[in-house]
Amino acid sequence: MNYEFRVHGRCSPQLRQAVGEFSEVRVVPAPPETIIYGAVSDQAQLHGLLLLLEDFGLQIVSVHRIPELPRTEAGDD
């Protein structure tokens, strides 16, 4: 399943590294938010990613299931 996570603010390099451990994750700055796209294999991984975002002190704005991950564009991380 593919998800779009929107968080308020910018992601630190430490968070970018931590979310990179999840498969197929992409972090896209969209001031004043950051969008994190990711493929999530099951509910446990989804909850783990949500907890990780909260552990880094980020305010989760929204979480949406999406049909497919967007293609990488120039400037995306």
This prediction has a pTM of 0.81
Q: What is the pLDDT of residue 73?
A: 61
Q: What is the pLDDT of residue 17?
A: 79
pLDDT in tens, 8-53: 988 888 887 787 766 678 888 888 999 999 898 899 989 988 998 8
Q: What is the pLDDT of residue 23?
A: 64
Position 72 pLDDT exceeds 60: yes
Distance (Å, rounded) from C-alpha 38 to C-alpha 69?
7
Residues facing residue 5 across a β-bridge:
36, 63
Tell me the three-class secondary structure of 19-56, residue by residue: HCCCCCEEEEEECCEEEEEEECCCHHHHHHHHHHHHHC
For residue 27, give the nearest of 50, 14, 19 by alpha carbon.
Answer: 19
Would you say 27 and 36 are in contact if contact means Cβ atoms under 8 Å apart? yes
